Amino acid sequence: MRNDVYETSIASVGDSEEDAAPDGSSASYPSIDGRRTASPAMSERSASTFFSRNDPIDALRRRPSSLNPLDNFGLIEVLELDSKPTLIFDLTASNSAGVLQPAYCNPALLASGDLLETVTGKKDITVPGAYSLRSYSRFRKWILEKQLDSIEGATESFSYSGMLWVETLFRERWKIISGIRNGQILETADGCESPVPEQLHIDKHRTSGAGVKDQTTRYEPAAVTHAAPTSASRLLAAASGMTSVSYPFPMGGFDMTAENPPPDLPPFYHLIREFDWAATPVGDMRNWSSQLRVMCNIIMRDPNPAVMFWTDQCIMIYNEAYVPVLGDMHPGCLGTPADVALGEIWTHFIPIIEANKRGEAYEEFDLPLFLNRHGFLEETYFSFRFVPVLDDSGTVVGHYEPITETTRQKVSERRLSTLLSLSEQTAKARDMDAFWMLLLRTLESNDKDIPFALLYSVEDIDDSNDASSVSTQSSISPRQCILKGAIGVPDDHPAAPARLDLQEGYNGFLPYFRVAMKSKKPTVFRIDDGTIPDYLTKDISWRGFGDKCSSLVISPIMPTTSENILGFLILGLNPRRPFDDDYQQFIQVGSRLCATTIASVVLLQEEMEKREKMLNRAALIQEQLNEQLTISQKESRFQEQRFQRFAERADVAIFIAATDGTFKYRNHKWFDIFKIAKDEPDVRKAWTELVSPEDMAFCDRVFGSLVMGKTAVSFELRMKMLWQPPIIPEATTSKQEHHVWILCSAYPELSEDGEVIEILGCVTDISRQKWGEGMQKQRTEDALESKRQLENFIDTTSHEMRNPLSAVIQCADGIITSHGSMIATDTDIEQAYRNLLETSIDAAQTILQCSQHMKRIVDDVLTMSKLDSGLLVFTPIDARPEAVGRHAVKMFEAEARAADVKMRFEIEDSYYQLGIDCVSLDPTRLLQILINLITNAIKFTRLEAKRSIVVSIGASLTEPDFSAQGVPYIRTATAAVDRTLMADWAAGENVYLQYSVQDTGRGLSASEKELLFARFSQASPRTHVQYGGSGLGLFISRRLTEMQGGAIGFLSQERAGSTFAFYVRARRKIASPVEARRGSIVQSDFQPSAGGQAPVAPLLKRMASEHPGLLANSGLPAAKEARPLREVPSTLHVLVVEDNLVNQRVLAKQLRNLGCVVNVANHGGEALDFLRKTTHWTASGGGNEVLSLILMDWEMPIMDGLTCVRIIRGLQQDGTVSGHVPVIAVTANVREQQISAAMDAGMDDVVSKPFRVPDLLVRMRNLISNLPP
């Protein structure tokens, strides 16, 4: 590298070539400030330069007395008085190599010692690689970058040499660099001083030659927010590109280091809190700094291993996930200096700590470490980062190290490499000796996992040198083990005799061979416990880490094709790795690879033996052939006759033709396929009748290839004939014409001189195959389209779930903010409290709406799943159709009112004329259809100028084609009707109930109408963006109406509104004179409608509680006599049994807010304990606690809800508990089978999560009121 630099004239600052006068006289030059100034003669300027060839830095210190173009600038005058070191660089000047050449530097920089040499690079110019290996290279690059976010006057910052440098770019040429000391104090309005915090960014880096990492830590300053910051601090924040943050921030209520920590801390947190920190340099936890508390909380909540080294003594503080990394060294390392706790291992980290103290972060991947954490020195690998922790003044006070153990990955890669090499190398073996050699050579490459190895082959004593005998070894013949090689074992070692008598010998490892022979799998033997005698392992040259193995494994080598053992492999196990599942798998996979490869070698040798035998037999066979020739000639005639019989019976058309095209032979199948040309004897003339005119040229070329080219041909061809494929309902091509397709293969029969004698061929009818290919293609396209629709549905559903979730989170944040603002406000407390209530109520209403929206999406997805799987159940019960419609409208009153939509319910004349009061149907499925249609109506109407919705009901005795509004009903040909409903309809007179939902929404265009009622489809791609939705509602509605014997249709006009109408089939009932009380719960003896499936009483009870007034009681035993309602106490005493503490606390609090007395239990066992204290308990030990009702969760530890309620009902039956204890199941298990199981177990009602507590309270009161007095 050159030590001199280019000579640069001061006149170059702000100059351009076109600014100089042609005659060399004075010219005006553009300045940085935008003004122009006169330039002295260039002859005067040449003598005074900022840089000389000998010492450019000295030249900078000797500023010339004469003026340069910058001296007259206002900016220069400011910089001359600025106390911050400042430079100006001309980006058009050559700075690609050597020392940087600033165009200007102010007195503050020149007076800062060697800072100028450090910034320009002169200080490191004699250090090899200084510009590429050190952090200066990034600083240099940052200076020379011309683009600065592409914004004129924008600023960026960079931390280098203990200073924060801020740059500003002007006119895409001049870059002004100004330095600020890290941790420099800013004065605030009240005279306080606050340090400038810094954000730390770590650049990825690679390890250099000596293990030292090239790293650059970049600091970006963040502004300090005070009550009244001075103008100076605001200017500095603006110049540095700072972002205002609140600093420091409060820890809130989750600080585990606080004097009053949050409840229910994990045991490890208690270990940290109870540790005697006062005896360490860290000091008493009560006196910890905010930085230490923040870092401690971050580490403890980190699910991954993390450790922090605090103070100069590097006191260790780590989380629970770090304990397995330490092993037996925990808890001795806690609160202990790292050099004491980690011993020699810490020496690896001392340079890293030093780098951290300089404010530099460090990152390391797969660092090998040897830890004694499980009672032995263990080979481990770790990837980690060391990040400095700064205090308020910017001083490094600790070191944060998140860590990831990569031991398993690194060791697995090494073992996998060995296995791959073993597979590749042994596959090259062609005989047994080559196999043994390649096996040893491969194992020798992995010295860590195989510290030593011995390899013996098993051979017959009489034929030890004949490797071919291995596949025919007899279990009773004398056998011996021959040493084929050793790794790490010296010659003539007692453990490696050259030969071993497998039947009678006891030297070497023979006794252990016999153990492995019995198991026929790799067997492990301990060395350190004396199982293997010391003389067998003495003087072995232990490879790898040089440690003596504690165990070895003996693996019998058997080919996969037989049970014969052909060899034994003795492997020493890595003493610095546990013999875990991965190690066992490595041994087992290696053993299987050996078994597979040796089987191939054995088969190859057997094949060679067979070839020799075949050669010996060849001569004998040749003699026999001559004798058989005569017999063959006789048989040939018989074969010809047999071939002819075969050809006539074959299912393939066979033909023989002469070279002139005349048929010489055609079997029966040929005539069956080509009936229209059966009388044509010439091939080419037959083509005119069989194939289309456009294929004639192809047929001529094929015949020419056979006769002239003498080459065989095979081709597919479409015939003129038609055929009828099988009828498949879902096939879209069933109405198309299907031509016969053939596959023809023909070849020329040649004479000895190569001339074509005749043409032989066969023809296969592949019409069905071609039709199947078309069907498969169509189904593939349909599947891809279905997949695309499903993906769109998933995207839409995800969006629909995320939007309300975002609103829920934002509303929760709003509630928190409102409460926080009220606490901090100094205004009128009543007004603040009123604002707080309004904000909280609004946020809660939004949360409720979003939750209901997400619940509808989940219900649609579950219903869709049940429809696809055929699990959707219909339960016909007696209900009032009018009440179902009114209830659907009432459900949406609040939402319609919020959207300013007028919604009303109307009853058509046809309904009154038929006098319908009660019918047998499934009201929940009917309600589900109405909910989907009303939801769509509100969604598409709320943004229109005119907003009204009309829901109406009508009826007819015959199946209608149009609604009263003129809506045509669309019926699907393949619609399936529920069998349960069909059986119910057969029990009496049927009616058709018609519902319509008419809105004044935006309407639908012609193209949008085609997409309705399809799965996952919406009117247009913009529908989801503007109105939301999952695209399932109308599809589900269509399926539900069709399964109830009905149909759905619509009328819509763009910008004029839409009308959706549907009808369902139901069985008419005669109303009972005794009307059911509104809000009552149907008793357990309520039976389903005639023809329905039995019994559904639990479901009816729950349905009556959820939707009061929907069910009718005509003809029911429970409704024949009006029973007086039980008086409901004004204050309900409720027992909440819930294992989730959050849900338990929230539910109990809301019930108390509604005036209930609440007790809680964590599981069924505690619920029974509380029951013994109540007035219901008649046995000894009963208490005075009042209990009105139990809210029981289903799935709980110790005792679940179903078990608990069964016990309660049993106690009622034997008289231990008096009266009936009402129990409502509160659970997320909402499938009908699960609800039935809960009711069968003894639950009085089931409430599915999520729910609203006011609705729950109504259910509770309804339940109590319907109990016997």
The reported pLDDT for the residue numbered 316 is: 95
- The predicted-structure confidence for 639-682, as pLDDT tens digits, reads as follows 777 777 787 777 788 888 998 888 888 888 888 888 888 788 88
The reported pLDDT for the residue numbered 929 is: 92
Three-state SS across 325-357? Answer: HHHHHCCCCCCCEHHHHHHHHHHHCHHHHHHHH
Three-class SS state of 637: helix
**Overall number of domains in the chain:** 7
Considering 182, 211, 241, which residue would you say is the last residue of a domain? Answer: 182
- Give the least confident one: 216-220, 782-786, 1012-1016, 1136-1140: 216-220
What one-letter code names the amino acid at 33? D
**The model's pTM:** 0.35
Asked if residue 1247 and residue 1202 are part of one domain, the reply reads yes
- Domain membership of residue 947 (yes or no) is yes
Asked if residue 886 and residue 1021 are part of one domain, the reply reads yes
Contact 479, 504 (CB under 8 A): no
Task: Note the maximum CA span of the chain.
Answer: 127
- Domain membership of residue 786 (yes or no) is no
Q: Which domain holds residue 81?
A: 10-182
Which has more pLDDT, 519 or 114? 519
Question: Which CATH number goes with the domain that contains 283?
Answer: 3.30.450.20
- Average pLDDT, rounded, for the chain: 77
Considering 544, 578, 603, which residue would you say is the last residue of a domain? Answer: 603
- Domain membership of residue 134 (yes or no) is yes
Asked if residue 883 and residue 856 are part of one domain, the reply reads no
The reported pLDDT for the residue numbered 793 is: 67
Give the integer Cα–Cα distance in Å for 750 and 1040: 71
Asked if residue 269 and residue 305 are part of one domain, the reply reads yes
Give the integer Cα–Cα distance in Å for 795 and 26: 70
Asked if residue 121 and residue 20 are part of one domain, the reply reads yes
Beta carbons within 8 Å of 683's beta carbon, 6+ residues apart: 657, 661, 662, 663, 703
- Give the least confident one: 131-135, 294-298, 1027-1031, 1111-1115: 1111-1115
Ramachandran area for residue 847 (φ above 0: left; ψ -120 to 50: alpha; else beta): alpha
The reported pLDDT for the residue numbered 98 is: 66
- The predicted-structure confidence for 896-919, as pLDDT tens digits, reads as follows 888 889 999 999 999 999 989 899
Asked if residue 1051 and residue 904 are part of one domain, the reply reads yes
- Domain membership of residue 774 (yes or no) is no
The reported pLDDT for the residue numbered 84 is: 85
Q: Give residue 539's pLDDT band: very low, low, confident or very high (50, 70, 90).
A: confident
Beta carbons within 8 Å of 499's beta carbon, 6+ residues apart: 480, 481, 482, 483
Question: Which CATH number goes with the domain that contains 1149?
Answer: 3.40.50.2300
The reported pLDDT for the residue numbered 549 is: 93
Give the integer Cα–Cα distance in Å for 460 and 477: 7
Which has more pLDDT, 824 or 493? 493
- Domain membership of residue 612 (yes or no) is no
Beta carbons within 8 Å of 904's beta carbon, 6+ residues apart: 889, 949, 950, 951
Asked if residue 509 and residue 421 are part of one domain, the reply reads yes
Closest to 106 measured CA to CA, from 61, 67, 140: 61
b (16+ CB within 10 A) / e for 398-435? bbbbbbbbbbeebbeeebeebbebbbebbeebeebeeb
Work out the burial of residue 550: count CB atoms within 10 Å of its CB; fewer than 13 is exposed, 13-18 middle, 19 or more buried.
middle
- Domain membership of residue 425 (yes or no) is yes
Contact 1031, 1090 (CB under 8 A): no
Give the integer Cα–Cα distance in Å for 434 and 429: 5
Contact 462, 478 (CB under 8 A): yes
Token pair, residue 985, equals 């309809």
Torsion angle in degrees (nearest 10) through CA of 827, 830, 836, 838: -130
Q: Percent of the chain having pLDDT more than 70? A: 74
Asked if residue 929 and residue 863 are part of one domain, the reply reads no
Give the integer Cα–Cα distance in Å for 152 and 242: 18
- Domain membership of residue 199 (yes or no) is no
The reported pLDDT for the residue numbered 1028 is: 45
- The predicted-structure confidence for 1053-1065, as pLDDT tens digits, reads as follows 888 889 999 999 9
- The predicted-structure confidence for 639-648, as pLDDT tens digits, reads as follows 777 777 787 7
Q: What is the mean pLDDT of residues 879-891?
A: 91
b (16+ CB within 10 A) / e for 282-315? bbebeebbebbbbbbbebbebeebbbbbbeeebb
User: Cα dihedral sign for 642, 645, 649, 650?
Assistant: positive
Neighbours of 57 (CB within 10 A): 19
Token pair, residue 919, equals 């019918």
- Domain membership of residue 191 (yes or no) is no
Contact 571, 376 (CB under 8 A): no
Torsion angle in degrees (nearest 10) through CA of 709, 710, 711, 717: 80
- The predicted-structure confidence for 860-869, as pLDDT tens digits, reads as follows 776 777 677 6
Which has more pLDDT, 1244 or 1099? 1244
Contact 86, 109 (CB under 8 A): yes
Give the integer Cα–Cα distance in Å for 773 and 616: 53
Question: Which CATH number goes with the domain that contains 833?
Answer: 1.10.287.130
Question: Which CATH number goes with the domain that contains 984?
Answer: 3.30.565.10
Asked if residue 668 and residue 552 are part of one domain, the reply reads no
Give the integer Cα–Cα distance in Å for 862 and 856: 10
Asked if residue 309 and residue 453 are part of one domain, the reply reads no
Considering 546, 570, 603, which residue would you say is the last residue of a domain? Answer: 603
| Strand 1189-1192, strand 1133-1137: pairing | parallel
Q: What is the mean pLDDT of residues 396-414?
A: 90
DSSP structure class, residue 9: B
The reported pLDDT for the residue numbered 3 is: 37
Q: Give residue 754's pLDDT band: very low, low, confident or very high (50, 70, 90).
A: confident
Token pair, residue 1099, equals 């479901």
Contact 1247, 1225 (CB under 8 A): yes
Give the integer Cα–Cα distance in Å for 990 and 1090: 13
Task: Render 187-218 in DSSP notation, one character per residue.
Answer: E-TTS-EEE--EEEEEPP--B-TTSPBP--EE
Asked if residue 825 and residue 710 are part of one domain, the reply reads no
Contact 502, 449 (CB under 8 A): no
Asked if residue 592 and residue 482 are part of one domain, the reply reads yes
Three-class SS state of 1040: helix
| Strand 86-90, strand 174-181: pairing | antiparallel
Q: Give residue 329's pLDDT band: very low, low, confident or very high (50, 70, 90).
A: confident
